[in-house]
Amino acid sequence: MSVQYDDLKDLVKNENQIMIDNIPDEYLTDTLKRLRGYADVVIKPTSTEEVSKILKWAYEREVPVTPRGAGTNLVGSTVPDHGGIVLDLSLMNHILELDYETLTATIEAGVLLQDFQQYVEEKGLFYPPDPGEKTASIGGNISTNAGGMRAVKYGVTRDYVMGLEIVLADGRILNVGSKNIKDSSGLSLKNLIVGSEGTLAIITKCILKLIPKPEISISVVVPFDSLESGLESVLTIIKENANPTAIEFVERKVIKLGEAFLKLSFPYPNAQAYIILTFDGKKDEVSANLSRIKEVVLHKSALNFIILDDKKLSENVWKIRSVLVKAVEAVSEQEPVDIVVPINKTLEFIKYVNKLEKETEMQMVSFGHAGDGNVHLCVVRGNRVESEWIKEKHENMAKLYSKAYELGGITSGEHGIGLTKKEYFLNETKNINLELMRKIKSDFDEKHILNSHISYNL
């Protein structure tokens, strides 16, 4: 049937929730703006009921729907590759309940991470997941099972999702999970939705687990004369049972880019690499852990142990750490990678990256979450012309993913697969696993209208 997008106006409260002509470019792409799709209409629902009506309408007409939170993804998952509807959940950004007794919050999916973190911290509570991109929406964080800095101690987004309200492709609304802490009652549909990149259903509401806010949080910079010695120290730190919140690694050459980008200084410039640690919790506990780890790493190969008790200095260190992808991007186009390997393979993987960098003369900037084997790589274009860049980037990416899988690793630790990593993910994943994922996709969305071009989909 011919699709009359104008009819959608009847399904929402206000006509200005819909854009049919002159759709702004931001709705057709992701943060990196390298891929562009096209859309017939952008709709901004304000309630679950509106989402339901819109999906029912789209399902009946087999119109593709690309859900979108804040559009901060890096892998093309908000690119409306097949046209149709861009479903922008940014107006569904209300905090609906803070339940002190169960330590849960119920919020709409479009709430931004930074707003939610600030809200709960002002009330003495804490939402541990802490991906670098604070302007992401919580719905987006759930859809990619976002990780971030604090995963070493606190786990990832999945660990804080207690329940979800979702809308199926055909418009039916259901709840998965609940405020209950334990659950052995049937298949865990909730855990299927977490990390499903908008391919199974639209998340409209989220029940999130909170914890009491830690008394203090202190970071430390530990400089090393090589990345190898730094990464070797990480396994020692983990075994010490000192419960670090974050363990990040970064090479001096990358820090320099961050310093230049922000015009800020990082401590101890005469090092080749750094481990940045955070400890949080009760004051006594944190200082006991700090002393113990200080002793351990200085006994190994650390050059110093710089406790960032100066608030300004601590902020600067984390600002520089958080800006690295942008700092690299400011110098040259780059392709972001967030491969994960088992934690004891991080060093071997980084060594491989360095070798590949030399062999191919393509710059590969690496840093990331040493505490959980989640390596962030920027594969840098430099001055390559378009055709060279595309060809060589593709060859190198294939090698990187292949090496990661050889080491027992996987494609993505927190960004998701989207469009840009799909080829590598499909290459490295067993057919039988993909077959099951695709069958499950059809269970939720038989007509394949929801983000059906990304991730595990054909």
Q: Which is nearer to a second copy, 223 or 416 (CB)?
A: 416
Question: Cβ atoms within 10 A of the Cβ of 14, count?
Answer: 10
Helices (H) and strands (E) in the chain, counts: 14, 18
Among 14, 265, 309, 408, binds a second copy (CB under 8 A): 408
**Cβ atoms 369, 247 nearer than 8 A:** yes
Among 14, 118, 135, 180, binds a second copy (CB under 8 A): 180
Size of the site for a second copy (CB under 8 A): 83
In the complex, the smallest distance separating the C-beta of residue 150 from a second copy, rounded to whole angstroms, is 12
Q: Indicate whether 191 belongs to the interface with a second copy (CB under 8 A).
A: yes
Within residues 49-108, the interface with a second copy by CB under 8 A covers: 99-103
Q: Indicate whether 216 belongs to the interface with a second copy (CB under 8 A).
A: no
Q: Indicate whether 185 belongs to the interface with a second copy (CB under 8 A).
A: yes
In the complex, the smallest distance separating the C-beta of residue 104 from a second copy, rounded to whole angstroms, is 8
Q: Indicate whether 122 belongs to the interface with a second copy (CB under 8 A).
A: no
**Cβ atoms 79, 30 nearer than 8 A:** yes
Q: Indicate whether 160 belongs to the interface with a second copy (CB under 8 A).
A: no
Cβ neighbours for 293, distance < 8 A, ≥ 6 positions apart: 220, 237, 240, 242, 244, 277, 279, 305
Q: Indicate whether 282 belongs to the interface with a second copy (CB under 8 A).
A: yes
- The pair of three-digit structure tokens given for residue 249, joined into one six-digit string: 């690694």
Within residues 334-373, the interface with a second copy by CB under 8 A covers: 338, 340-344, 369, 372-373
Q: Indicate whether 182 belongs to the interface with a second copy (CB under 8 A).
A: yes
In the complex, the smallest distance separating the C-beta of residue 409 from a second copy, rounded to whole angstroms, is 6
Q: Indicate whether 159 belongs to the interface with a second copy (CB under 8 A).
A: yes
Among 146, 313, 320, 327, binds a second copy (CB under 8 A): 146
Greatest extent of the chain over all pairs of C-alpha atoms, in Å = 73
Within residues 249-278, the interface with a second copy by CB under 8 A covers: none
Q: Residue 213 gets which letter from DSSP? A: P
Q: Which run of H or of E encompasses 218? A: strand 216-224
Question: Cβ atoms within 10 A of the Cβ of 299, count?
Answer: 10
- C-alpha closest to that of 335 among 409, 389, 383: 389
DSSP-based three-state secondary structure for 237: helix
Q: Indicate whether 410 belongs to the interface with a second copy (CB under 8 A).
A: yes
